[in-house]
Every structure is written in C-alpha cells, then in structure tokens.
Structure 1
Amino acid sequence: MKTNTLRLYQTLHTWVGLMAGWALFIAFFAGAITVFHHEIHVWQNPARLEGHHAAEVEVNGPAVDAFVQKLIAVQPDAAAGVYVGLPSKEEPDFNAYWMDKKGEWHHMSGARLDGDAAAQRNTSIDAVAGELSAFLNSLHYALGLGTNGMYFMGVISVLYGLALVSGVLLHLPRLKKDLFAVRPGRNLKRFWMDAHNVIGLFSLPFHMVFAVTGALFCLSLVLVMVFNVLTFDGKLMEVIPRVTGATPEVVSANRPVPTMTSAELLRIAREHGGEHFTPEAIRFQRYGDANAVAEVRGDSARALGNGGSVGIHAAAGEPNAGQLIANQTPGARDGNHALYSALYALHFGTFGDLAVRFVYLLAGLAGAFLFYSGNLLWIESRRKTRQADQPRVHRLLAQATVGVCIGCCIGVALCFPAALLWPERAVSYVYWPVFAAAIAWALIRPPVRAAIELLYVAALASLTVPLSNAILTGDHLFAAALGGRWAVAGFDIGAIALAVGYVALARATQRRSRNGPAESVWAPPQAGKAALSSSPSPQGRGEQTVG
C-alpha cells in the first residue's frame, strides 16, 4: 500500500477516534455493566433493604387477569394497547406500559395499583427511568441525554465504524509481524501502543458488531423516515409493527367481548414457542373488544435471536379465538424477525449463558480502554521534545480525557449506593454532579495530578458498592456468596476488582510522573521546567507515556 494512502488512513483513524473517543468510552463502560441488566434489578431490589432476597416467581394466569382488569378499570385508556411485564425473580412486581392518545407514555406497577386513589392516578414513568439499570442503559445508548443523545450516538457509531476500517487497513501491512508483539520495558509509549493494537485487533469482531448494530438501533427512526419518503411512498410506518412484532395494530370493533384468560394465552404461546420458550410479557390490544389480540413475548434459550413472540386472536367466543396471528419465535419466524432478533442479541450478548456475558463484559471494558489509551497515545506522540511549554490544545485534550473518562467511572460507581438510598431518582441526581465535578477538577489541575487524584477517588467510589450493600442490606459479599446469590456478590466482586485496577493505574501514573520525559503534558509542571533547564539533553530517559 502506498505511503500516502497509509498516511490518509492514519489521519482518518486518529481524528475520528479523537472525536468519538469520549462518547464511546462512556457507551462502552456503561454498556459493559448493562450486559447484566437483569442482575442489576436483583441488586437494587428494595426488598433487600428489609432482609428479603429475590426468589423465583411463578407466573399465575388469574393474577395477570386480575391486574389487567383492575388497571383498565382505573385507567381505561390502557385497554387500547397495554404492555404487561410479568413478574420474575429480577422484577417481582407487575409493570404495565401504555401510550395515550397524545402519544405520551404511562406506567403502572402492581404496588401502585394496590395503593390508594392517589397512587393509582400516578402513571409517571419517572420511577422506571430513574432505576439504576434503566439509567445505565440510557447512558450506554444515549449518554443519558434522551432522544437527541441517541441520534448523536448513532452518528458516533458511524464514525466508530470508519475508525475501525481505517485502523485495520493501517495495521494490515504489519499484521503478521506485530500480531503478538507486546513489548514491556522502559519505553512505556511503545508498550501501550502495542497493547492498544493487540486488544483492538482481537476484539475487532465485537467492535464491528457494536458499530453496525449501534448505528442501526440509534438511527433506525431516521432511516425509517427517509425510506418511508424515498422508497415506500409513505406506507412504511404501517408495516413496522409487523416487522418488529407478531401482531399488527388493530382497531376497535366497538363490540364488547370478554378477552381470553391469560392462562390460556400463555398455554398457547408455550405450545407454539417450544420447550425453551419462557413468556416474559403480554401485549394486549383492544382488551374486552371483539377485535382483541394478544402478543406473548418471551425468551428462548439456546438461540442466537433469543427474543421472540407469539400473536394470538384473543376475543373469547369469537370464531378465531385462540388462533395464531403469527409465530415469531426461533425456528418458526420469518427472515425479517430473525435478522432483527439476531442483531439485538449480538449487540447485548443475550443469546448466551453467563460465560458469554462475561466475554461481553470484558470486551466492553477492553473497548473503553482502547478509547482512553488512544487519546493518551495521540497526545504523547505529538509532544515537542526539549520544550517545556507544550501546545495548550494538547494539555486541554489530556485534561478533558482524564475528566470525562475517570469522571464517568466515579459517577457510575456512586450510582450503586444511591440506588439503594433513593431508588427512584437518586442515580441521575448523583451521576451528573459527580461527572461535572470530575471534569471541572481535571480542567483546573495539571493532567498527571488530576489523573492520579481522580483514579484514587474512583477506587474509593468503587468500594462504596460493597460497603453500601453490606451496611444498608446486610447482604454483604460473603453472606451473598455463601447463600448462592451471585447476582449480588458478583457486583461486589467486580467493584473491588475495579478499585484494585484504579489503584494500580494511579501508581503507574505516579511512576510516569517521576520518570517520564520532562516536556510531556504528563510531567509535573514545575519539575518538568526545572529538569529541562538543568539538562540540555533527555538522553538516558525512556520514552514513556501515562500508564
């Protein structure tokens, strides 16, 4: 490959990585934790504050009917279309979601529905959006910034794909020579460059999956709107429900007819979904009407596209009662649903057991490391030797990288104790002030000092996870492990491991500040100037970068 072409790919890879690096660090760090989405619900379960532990919940058909009928009696708009989440070990209460005629979403839990009139009128989704798992997921796909953040991350995913392609083309000529070349020693810059390249290469399949699926998920509405106008003559919107679900949108017949029992609907769904199909939710449309339909959604073990659904005509006594509308479970669904489910499963790692999700966890953390190390390597490679005053833009980039990346780690860690103290709202109230404070601190401190200080703060913040768990619930690491509650113990172990990693990184950064090139933005300012004024040559000092 020509030198000019390689230089072009290097420039593209570098600048796209820099522009997207901060957002992708947050997305990957939060996404790595979000892989254990259901386990987060177990960890945050308010019942643990009272000494109770999550237990297996058996879905009871009559209980589902009682919940839906009471919900519609209190909130009649829900009869048009309501999504009912079935109780489970992770979420032991009923949860219903529906959209009103104005397009606004509403939520009702079993606890609210069993409460007084004021509780039954409260259909705010704040409690759901404020949950730890929901907030981390929002941080993953939208940086916690809502719809605009989701579109922004879609653009970032496209840039991310460009960086991956340019990076592969850049390193392809020396792939065989440098594949396993991780060279430790005094030249830490070369060591971290080797580590960056090797980790990036071996995690490339994951990164390609994340880039493609991330762009599709975040920009799906934009793509649908564009194709709706350019290709489908304005008719695409009415097709979308059939592509993503097992039931079309139906209109009311304005003829009251009882809806089939949930026990019968679940039986039919299990019969057609197969032995590995586990119902998790039912979406009712036109409940109590002659045109009522139900879509039983669930998970199928041992399938790549594990999510699926069964659509059923649900008006009791009608000629089509109990007949299938569509079976979109593994082995029975059409190509559109198979592709959609596979993309979702590949992005979130839901198609496998615990071992697969651990691989996704490591891939997510490795990805976060790539974006952090990539920015630092770029800064270090452009320092001017034997010059005490480096370009201010390099210093600002170093400070921002430290503040954004380590600030995200601190904020996420402190969200865990906040979720126990005030489950519905505290996570967002904690994360953003902590994140902003970390960035502010990094901008007023020399980069190396800010990095060291914030890394030690990140270690302390991580330790608040097992400490708050032990103090507030009594379900400490050893009690949870001995009791077989690994969904709880796993987070404590992971937080301790991260704390150890932050301390190790802080100590490596301290060594770098003492032994690295004096002209680097990572050198202590006064010490760097003194060293340069007293020594005309940096010979004998290894080229190093922040560890």
Structure 2
Amino acid sequence: MKASTIRTFTTVHTWTGLLAGFALFIAFYAGALTMFHEEIDAWALPKAEMARADTMDRAHAMLADIVAKHPAAAEQIGVTYPADHPSHEVAAYWMEKNGDWKTQSLGEAAPRDSEDHEHGLADFVYELHYDLGIPVVGIYLMGVVSIVYGLALLTGLLIHLPNLTRELFALRPGHNLKRLWQDAHNVIGILSLPFHIVFAITGALLCLTLVMLVAFNTLTFDGKVMGAFERMTSALPASQGKGGSAPMLSPAELGARARQAALAAGAANFDPDYMRYMHYGQQGATAEVRGTSAKTLGEYGAVALDAIDGHVINVQLTGARDANHATYSAIFGLHFGTFGSLSLRWLYFLLGLAGAFLFYSGNLLYIESRRKRRSAEQPMKVRAMATATVGVCIGACFAISTTFLGNLVGPLFGAEPTAIVQPVCFTAFAGAIAWTFWRRPAKAAVDLLFATAAVSVAVGVLDVVVHHDRLLRTLAEGRYAVLGVDLVAIAMGAGFAWLGVATRRRAVDGDPCSVWSSRRAAAKEAQRELQEA
C-alpha cells in the first residue's frame, strides 16, 4: 500500500475516531453495565414488592375499564407481565385518537403520558447506552455515530492489515508513552475487532431503522413499507375487527397458552413479558404474546392467538421463525449478548469496558502525537482535547457511579429512586466537566479518578450496611445478584484508585513538557531562565 494512501486512511481513522469517540465511550461503558440490567434492577429497588398472584387477574379488569373509558384503546392495547426484576411493573399502553401514547399502571386511577414515565436506575443506564440520555434525537445521533464508528474500524483495519500478526501482541511498556498508547490501542482494537464490527452494524440498524423505513416508504415503496415492516416484526397477521362484542381471555390465560405453544414448537422455555390485544372486546379479536427464550441467538419471540377461544394462529420463535423474523431477532441477540449463559454476559461486560478504553486511548494517542516535547506550553488543540477527554470520559464514569450512590442514599432522605437518578447523573456530569476546566486536565484527572473510586467503593459498602437484611435474605434464597453488584462496585472502585495512583505519579514525576504534568509552572520558569541566559 502506498505511503500516501496509508496517510489518508490514518487521517480518516483519526478524525472519525475523535468525532465518535466521546459518545462511544459513554455508550460502551454504560453498555457494559447494561449486561447486568436485571441484577442492577434488583439491587436498585430493595423495597419493591413482588407481584401478587392475582396481579394479572386485576390487569384484566384494568384493561376492560380502560377500553370502556377510552374507546380508541380497543383498536390496540398492550399490557406488561410481572417479571422477576422489581421495576417491571404491570402497566397498560395504548394510543389515543390524537396519536398520543398513554399508560396506566395497576393502582393508578387515571392514565398519563407514556413519555412521563420515570425509569429506574437500570433502565436509565440502558438509556445512556442507546441514546446518551438525550430525548428524541439521541437514538438517531447514536445511529450516525455507529456509522462513523464503522468507518473508523474499516480504516483502522486497512492501516494495520499489512502488519497484523506483528502488532497483535506488541505491547512495549517504557518511557515512550506515545508508543505505549499506540500498542495498547492496536492490541485491544485487533483482538476485539469481530465484536466491534458486530456492534457497529447492529447499532446502526437498531438506531436508524425508523429513519430508513420512513425514507424507503416515501421514496421507493409508495407508502407500503410500514405495513410490511409491521408484518415482518409481528406474529399477528393483518386483521379487521368484525364488530359486535365478545369476552376476552385474560392476559394470564393467554400467556399460559402462549407458553404451551412455545414449548410444543421446540422452545426450551418461554417467559412472557408483554402482550397486546387487537380489536379488544370485538368479534375477531386477536392477541400477541411476546417473551424470551433462554440460550438462543434470537431470544425474543412472539406467539399470536385468538383472543376469544385461545387457539394458536402463528408462532415466531427459534426453530419456528421465517427468515425476516430470524434476521430481526438475531440483530438484537448479537448486539446485547442474550444468546448465551452468564459467562457470555461477562465476556460482553469486559468487551464493553475494553471498547471504552479503546476510544479513551485513541484520544490519548492523539494528544501524545501532537504535544511539544521541548515546551511546557502545549498547543491549544492538545489542551482542548485533554480537557474534553478528562471531563467527558472520566466525568461520565464519575457521574454513573454517583448515580448509583444517589439511588442508594436518596431514599434515606425521602427521595423516590426513580425520580432522582437522571438529575443526579447529569448534575454530577456537568460538575465533573466544570471541575476539569477549573483544575486543568492534569490535576482534574487525578481528582476525578480518586473521586470515582471513592464513590464506587461507597456504593458497595453502604449497600451492605444499609440493606444487610436484604443481602442476607437473597443469599439464603440462593440469589447472588445483589452481592454481585456490591462486589463489582468495590472492584471497579479499586481499579479507578489504581488508575488515579498511576495518573498522579505521571503528573508529579513525568515529563514536565506535557499537558498531563502538574509541574508545568516550574517547567515554564526553567524554560524562561534558559531563554534569558
């Protein structure tokens, strides 16, 4: 490959990585935590009551009441099933005639806008993963970021392909920091390349599906593609209400029949988590029960049934799917790692952290490549990148740890956990960025790493102190989710403390001609004396 071509690819790789790197750092770090969504959910809501046995019977009565008061809900109304994780409340969802989505939970007297629903800690971390916590446009932003991310992967592969074998394990520690960051960046990128390709492709598809559908629907398919997509992702065939009235089978009964149909189709298991009625209360009404099957590439599937007599209309589960449903479900399985056991989730967790480090190290490599090695005063672009890297990357880690702590401490002062996680996170994140501007990157990096370490350890230790009865009860029942979250929080705190020690050592003892040195003032004075001499 010509040297000019390699330089072009290097330039594209650098700038695509920088443009997408900050968003991808947050997405990968939060995504790593999301691999244990249910465990975090159980940890975050210690006083949540499990659903009683009569929950779905009461849900059936709630649905009938909603349809009586809101006739538009009869066209399509859905309800969630209770699950093992506490925040999965039983709630109904439907669309009014004006297009607004409404929701109503058991025990609520009136509906509310579904967008006003407050999410718990686990759901908020998941939101950070797929839309950075930015309403409406965040998911589309991450779709564009995923495309840029794919371009960075492609150019990086083309750059290193000629020397792939030689660079695979070439990690050379020493005083040459640029070479060290280059080696670490290359090794992690090469070893995790297949997974990054999967994440880039599936991330773009998941985030930009609606945009692509709208574009094709308008430009190519004469307005018919939206209906085709509905059929591709649903087990229900197209149907029309026949009028009249008919009694509906309850969600509990339909869920049980869907489970039987799934087992008969060869699924190892089937746990319903959501269902919807079409033409509720009318002749010809149908229902679709959606749920998960463990240890399969596309774990999420659906069973369509007649809502009046319960006979099975269609099954879209592993082993009984058409090509469209198999492809669509595989995208979810590959991206979220739901097709394996606990060991696979740990692998995805480590890959998420490694991916976050990949983008962080790319920024550090950019800084090392452009700093002046004989001047204490660094260029503006170097100082700006160092400030952004510390404020955004380390600040995001600090903010997420602080959110866990806020979820733990807030209820002790009467705060509702689901109401405080978002304000706590964004306030801590803004504070970290402001602190970086005030303290400068070299000192702020040390401060934020030690602060993140202290908060992370506090999360694990305080939970044991405050909720020791819950911890003992779950251990006695053979459930280790709560203990696992506490131990991982303490372990990550130790990791951040180690990074803080290393960063502080470099700030004190490292090259003073660096944006990461806290001895820049002394270096500037010495440089000025040399110039005067």
Match of 1:82, SS state, is: strand
Q: Assess, with a 3 A threshold, how the Cα gap between structure 1 residues 232 and 475 changes in structure 2: closer, same or farther.
A: farther
C-alpha separation in 2, matches of 1:492 and 1:476 = 12
Contact 1:466 / 1:476 at 8 angstroms: preserved in 2? no
Using the TM superposition, name which of 435-444 and 86-95 deviates more. 86-95
Unaligned stretches of 5+ residues in structure 2? none
Question: What is the identity, as a one-letter code, of the residue corresponding to 1:292?
Answer: A
Question: What is the identity, as a one-letter code, of the residue corresponding to 2:275?
Answer: I
Q: CA deviation at 1:416?
A: 1.8
C-alpha separation in 1, matches of 2:97 and 2:407 = 33
Contact 2:461 / 2:490 at 8 angstroms: preserved in 1? no
C-alpha separation in 1, matches of 2:120 and 2:441 = 34
Q: Percent identity?
A: 47
Find the counterpart in structure 1 of residue 189 from structure 2: 200
Using the TM superposition, name which of 457-466 and 295-304 deviates more. 457-466
Find the counterpart in structure 2 of residue 3 from structure 1: 3
C-alpha separation in 1, matches of 2:271 and 2:198 = 27
Alignment of 1:21-170 (within 5 A): 21-47=21-47, 62=57, 64-73=59-68, 76-91=71-86, 93-110=89-106, 113=107, 119-125=108-114, 128-170=117-159
Q: CA deviation at 1:234?
A: 1.1
Match of 1:238, SS state, is: helix
Q: CA deviation at 1:475?
A: 4.7
Find the counterpart in structure 1 of residue 463 from structure 2: 469
Q: Assess, with a 3 A threshold, how the Cα gap between structure 1 residues 72 and 419 changes in structure 2: closer, same or farther.
A: farther
C-alpha separation in 1, matches of 2:286 and 2:219 = 32
Alignment of 1:202-221 (within 5 A): 202-221=191-210
Contact 1:254 / 1:290 at 8 angstroms: preserved in 2? yes
C-alpha separation in 2, matches of 1:345 and 1:412 = 25
Contact 1:79 / 1:287 at 8 angstroms: preserved in 2? yes
Find the counterpart in structure 2 of residue 285 from structure 1: 278
C-alpha separation in 2, matches of 1:303 and 1:168 = 31
Contact 2:457 / 2:494 at 8 angstroms: preserved in 1? no
Contact 1:281 / 1:297 at 8 angstroms: preserved in 2? yes
C-alpha separation in 2, matches of 1:418 and 1:127 = 21
Match of 2:345 among 326, 347, 357: 357
Q: CA deviation at 1:196?
A: 1.4
Match of 2:137, SS state, is: helix
Using the TM superposition, name which of 507-516 and 471-480 deviates more. 471-480
Question: What is the identity, as a one-letter code, of the residue corresponding to 1:68?
Answer: L
Per-residue displacement from partner, 1:399-453 (whole Å, max 9, x unpaired)?
A: 1110011111111112123334222210111111111111111112221101001
Contact 2:46 / 2:470 at 8 angstroms: preserved in 1? no
Find the counterpart in structure 2 of residue 541 from structure 1: none
C-alpha separation in 2, matches of 1:466 and 1:338 = 40
Per-residue displacement from partner, 1:502-533 (whole Å, max 9, x unpaired)?
A: 11111111111133222111112213324545
Match of 2:173 among 168, 178, 184: 184
Contact 1:126 / 1:424 at 8 angstroms: preserved in 2? no
RMSD value over aligned CA atoms? 2.4
Match of 2:103, SS state, is: strand
Match of 1:147, SS state, is: coil
Q: CA deviation at 1:76?
A: 4.9
Find the counterpart in structure 2 of residue 407 from structure 1: 395
Match of 1:298, SS state, is: strand
Q: Assess, with a 3 A threshold, how the Cα gap between structure 1 residues 418 and 504 changes in structure 2: closer, same or farther.
A: same
Match of 2:225, SS state, is: coil
Find the counterpart in structure 2 of residue 526 from structure 1: 521
C-alpha separation in 2, matches of 1:6 and 1:231 = 38
Q: How many residues align?
A: 519
Find the counterpart in structure 1 of residue 495 from structure 2: 501
Structure 1 outlier segments of 4+, above 6 Å: 57-61, 476-479
C-alpha separation in 1, matches of 2:338 and 2:177 = 37
Q: CA deviation at 1:68?
A: 3.2
C-alpha separation in 2, matches of 1:77 and 1:473 = 45
Q: CA deviation at 1:167?
A: 0.7
Contact 2:406 / 2:421 at 8 angstroms: preserved in 1? yes
Alignment of 1:270-281 (within 5 A): 270-274=259-263, 275-281=268-274
Match of 1:424, SS state, is: helix
Match of 2:289, SS state, is: strand
Contact 2:296 / 2:338 at 8 angstroms: preserved in 1? no
Contact 1:477 / 1:492 at 8 angstroms: preserved in 2? no
Contact 2:56 / 2:81 at 8 angstroms: preserved in 1? no
C-alpha separation in 2, matches of 1:418 and 1:76 = 41
Contact 2:100 / 2:113 at 8 angstroms: preserved in 1? no
Contact 2:31 / 2:129 at 8 angstroms: preserved in 1? yes
Match of 1:146, SS state, is: coil
Residue 327 (1) aligns with residue 320 (2):
no
Per-residue displacement from partner, 1:295-323 (whole Å, max 9, x unpaired)?
A: 01111122111110011121x3xxxx434
Question: What is the identity, as a one-letter code, of the residue corresponding to 1:244?
Answer: T
C-alpha separation in 1, matches of 2:160 and 2:322 = 40
Match of 2:224, SS state, is: coil
Match of 1:219, SS state, is: helix
C-alpha separation in 1, matches of 2:285 and 2:156 = 53
Match of 1:98, SS state, is: strand
Contact 1:476 / 1:489 at 8 angstroms: preserved in 2? no
Q: CA deviation at 1:250?
A: 4.4
Per-residue displacement from partner, 1:111-168 (whole Å, max 9, x unpaired)?
A: xx2xxxxx41142446744321221121111111122111111111100000001111
Contact 1:245 / 1:309 at 8 angstroms: preserved in 2? yes
Find the counterpart in structure 1 of residue 293 from structure 2: 300
The alignment's TM-score, normalised by the length of structure 2, stands at 0.91
